[in-house]
Amino acid sequence: MGNMSDMVGALLEARSLSKHFGGVLALDELNLSVARDEIVGLIGPNGSGKTTFFNVITGIYSADAGQVRFDGADVTNASGRAVYQAGISRTFQHSRLSLPLSIFDNIMIGNHKRLNQGLWFNLVRRDDFRREFEEGYAAARALVEVFEPALADRLFEPIAGLAMIDRRRIEICRALIGAPKLLLLDEPSAGMTHEETAELMNDILLVRDRNKNLSIIIVEHEMGVIERITDRCVVLNFGRKIAEGPYRAVAADPQVQEAYLGAA
Amino acid sequence: MRQKPQASLWSGAIALAVATIYLIVLLGAERQAVIIALLIAGIAAVTAGAWLGLFTSVSASFADHEDALGASTIISALAVAAYFYDNHFVLLLVITVLLYSVATLGLNVQFGYAGVLNFAGASFFGIGAYTSAILNDYTAVPHLLVLLIGGLLAALAGSLLLLPVLRTRGHYAAVVTIAFALLFKTFLEVNDVLGGPQGMQVKGMKILGWSFNDNIEIGKLSLSFYMNYLVVSLLLLVGAFVMVRRLERSWIGLNLDALRLDETAANCFGLDVARWKITAFLIGNFLIGIAGALFGMVGGFVAPNNYTFADSLIFVSILLLGGIGNPWGLVIATIIVVVVPEKLQTIQEYRFLLYALMVIAVLLFRPQGLLPRPVRRYFPGWRPWAT
Query: B376 and A116: CB-CB below 8 Å?
Result: no
Cβ distance B251 to A110 less than 8 Å, yes or no, reads no
Alpha-helical segments (H) within chain B: 9-28, 32-51, 54-64, 66-83, 88-107, 121-138, 143-159, 162-167, 171-190, 226-248, 251-261, 263-268, 273-299, 309-322, 327-343, 351-365
Number of domains observed in the structure of chain B? 1
The residue ranges of every structural domain in chain A are 1-87+180-264, 99-178
**What's the rounded Cα separation, in Å, for the pair A235 and A88?**
22
Amino acid identity of B127? I
Residue B52 lies inside a defined structural domain of this protein: no
Query: What digits encode the pLDDT tens for the residues B187-224?
Result: 999 988 888 888 898 888 778 777 777 777 787 888 88
Give the domain CATH number at B134. 1.10.3470
Closest CA to B14 of B66, B69, B64: B69
A 109-148: CB under 8 A from B: 109-110, 112-113, 115-117, 119, 122-123, 126, 129-130, 133, 137-138, 141-142, 145
User: Is residue B216 domain-resident?
Assistant: yes
In the stretch 142-181 of chain A, residues with CB closer than 8 A to chain B read 142, 145, 152-153, 155-158, 174, 178
C-alpha to C-alpha distance for B39 and B25, rounded to whole angstroms: 11
Q: What is the pLDDT of residue A192?
A: 84
B153, with CB counted inside 10 A (0-12, 13-18, 19+), is: buried
Residues in contact with A218: Cβ distance below 8 Å, sequence separation at least 6, in sequence order: A39, A40, A41, A42, A185, A188, A225, A226, A229, A230
* CATH number for the segment(s) A1-87+180-264: 3.40.50.300
In B, which residues are within 8 Å of A112 by CB distance?
A: 251, 255, 269-271
Quote the pLDDT of residue B27. Answer: 92
Bridge partners of A27? A19
CB A51 within 8 A of CB A132: no
Task: Return residues 17-46 of A near B (CB < 8 Å).
Answer: none
For chain A, the residue count is 264
Residue of B298, B216, B237, B243 lying closest to B74 (CA atoms): B237
Residues of A in contact with B272 (CB under 8 A): 81
How far lies B173's CA from each of B42, B165, B179, in Å?
A: 38, 5, 10
So what's the pLDDT on residue A188? 87
Sign of CA dihedral B198, B291, B319, B164: negative
Question: Residue B314 in contact with residue B337, Cβ under 8 Å?
Answer: yes
Cα(B353)–Cα(B82) distance, rounded to whole angstroms? Answer: 34
Using an 8 Å Cβ cutoff, are A235 and A259 in contact? yes
Residue A64 contacts B where some CB pair is shorter than 8 Å: no
Measured distance CA(B189)–CA(B198) in Å, rounded: 8
Which residues touch A75 (CB under 8 Å, ≥6 apart)? A57, A68, A69, A82, A83, A86
Between the alpha carbon of residue B170 and those of residues A22, B93, B111, B118, the distances in Å are 27, 34, 11, 11
pLDDT beneath 50, residues of chain B: 1
Q: What is the pLDDT of residue B54?
A: 86
Asked if B282 has any chain A CB less than 8 Å from its own CB, the reply is: no
Residues in chain B, how many?
Answer: 387
Contact across the interface for A122 and B262, Cβ inside 8 Å:
no
B175/chain A closest Cα distance in angstroms = 26
Q: Where are the beta strands (DSSP E) in A127-258?
A: 182-186, 215-219, 232-237, 240-245
DSSP A102: B
Cβ atoms A193, A201 nearer than 8 A = no
Tell me the pTM: 0.92
A179: left (phi over 0), alpha (psi -120 to 50) or beta: left
- A67, β-bridge pairs: A15
Give contacts of A 184-243 with B, CB under 8 A: none
d(CA B85, CA A77): 66
Domain with B323 in it:
88-338
Q: Does residue B326 lie within any of the structural domains?
A: yes
Is B43 inside any structural domain? no
In this prediction, residue B171 carries a pLDDT of: 77
pLDDT by residue (tens digit) across A208-223? 888 778 999 999 888 8
Q: What is the ipTM of this complex?
A: 0.90
Report chain B residues whose CB lies below 8 A from the CB of A170: none
Distance, CA of A196 to CA of B2 (rounded, Å): 28
Q: Which residues of chain A have pLDDT under 70?
A: 1-8, 261-264
